Amino acid sequence: MSSQSDSHRRSEDTASEPATSAERPATPVVGLVGRTRQEETRLAVATAASLSEQGVSPSDIVIATADVDQYEDGLTRAAARYGCTVAVWRPLQLKRTVPYRLVSATLRLLAVRGQRPVAIETLTEPLTLGWVSPRDEPEPLAPAAIQEVSRRHAGVAQSIPEWQATIATAALDRPQKRSWMAYVNWIAAQPDAPTSKDVTDALEPMLDRYDATHLPETPGERAVSELAATLRGRERTTELVTMTRRRYARWLAAGRTERRWRVVNELLESFATAVPGRRELPTAAAIDVMEANDLWALSVPYVIAVGLVAGAWPSTPASPVPSVARTIIEDSDIDGVRPHSAWTTARDRDQFAAAHNTATTALVVTRHEMAADGVENRPSRFLEETQLTHMSNEAQNRLMADPSVLPEPLRDCLPTEEHNGR
């Protein structure tokens, strides 16, 4: 992420909670309405472009939505039309990335190793994910060599010393056996009661070797998005290994835990679960496009919230439980029965509140009147609960035609020096 955009994103590092409405003046809210989603995205980007024309830094503008996937293409096309650069942030599905799965599978194997016999599936999972010897072998073990041993020993669970003996006597090609033995010997060499130093000594070289053998400089036949996710997964997993080592060291020093690989894995998983979204590809001087749940505890002068349409934000609750039954459960106090969080729009409301609280100078809210199938869209009920000023259709058309002039009422939201300068 560029240093330019870090200035407003790290407000959570200096304040424990975002400012409340009682601590600062109410942020003005301006409403824009497009006929279609395409026109709505043009309005949103034209607003951002116009703010930039008035001297507002792109890093002081964020376009927020409840669902990035629904708006990414339209916003990207509109950005090209107005000569802007947008940087899409999306939640990184870290636990689905191969680097994280490799580290997690290895930690699970190390944790199981000292407690019970190791099943063949547990033994081979790190290899399947690309484990490479930190010192000996230049290439990962071939999938066929892994599958051959798995097939011969299906359903088998043994201790690591027994697996060492099994591999040593297995009918494998010499290079395959050498790679297999390097792997089981590496597992056997890891301490049963790891120190914090043992954590990084085991995991960091493994990630370095994965990087060297699996991650190309260019995508080749792989999709750019797939490679980008893997690269981000590798980077973030490395960061989490460091965070895990530090927390583990503090816990050991305070006597809060025993030296166990299981504890290391639990710490890593807890950090991974809490990871926020990140940019797909960092771009300097870009206008960020973010999901609203990633705005928590941030402070940005201008937030443009798009997609405030009923059924989208808030979304329609989906559940196999009939709506009548859901209403009874929600309204009744039945022992042992609680409404599922997916039945309510509480999460959508929290997202909208996050967008509103993030904006320190102005919040712009947009919606579109007509769906792709021609059905009329109703405005989000969150708009009915918000005191906002609507921009006229004439002003909207002028904005889309020429964003060099910021129309009222947005012009009134500019800082005094910028407002007077125009």
Domain boundary among 228, 253, 274: 274
Average pLDDT, the chain: 83
Please list, in sequence order, all residues whose beta carbon lies within 8 angstroms of the beta carbon of residue 100, skipping any fewer than 6 positions away: 94, 233, 236, 237, 240, 272
Query: Which residues sit opposite 359 in a β-bridge?
Result: 300
Report the alpha-carbon distance of residue 164 to residue 146 in Å, rounded. Answer: 15
- Whole-prediction pTM: 0.55
Q: Do 104 and 202 sit in the same domain of this protein?
A: yes
One DSSP character per residue, 330-377 reads HHS--TT----GGGSSHHHHHHHHHHHHHEEEEEEEEEESB-TTSPBP
pLDDT band at 253, cuts 50/70/90?
very high
pLDDT at 230: 81
Q: Is residue 351 part of a domain?
A: yes
The tokens describing 389, both together, are 């000023």
User: Is residue 282 in a domain?
Assistant: no
Q: Are residues 196 and 149 part of one domain? A: yes
d(CA 84, CA 301): 18
Task: Identify whether residues 188 and 39 lie together within a single domain.
Answer: no
Do residues 327 and 366 both lie within one domain?
Answer: yes
261 exposed, middle or buried (CB, 10 Å; 0-12, 13-18, 19+)?
A: buried
pLDDT at 1 over 50: no
- Asked, for residue 279, whether it belongs to a domain, the answer is no
Domain that holds residue 342: 3-90+287-421
- For residue 20, the model assigns a pLDDT of 40
* Tens digits of residue pLDDT in 125-176: 999 999 988 876 656 788 888 999 999 999 999 999 999 999 999 988 888 8
Report how many domains make up the chain.
2
Domain boundary among 228, 244, 274: 274
Per-residue model confidence as pLDDT tens digits over 132-143: 888 766 567 888
CA distance 94 to 276: 10
pLDDT class for 13, splitting at 50, 70, 90? very low
Domain membership of residue 257 (yes or no) is yes
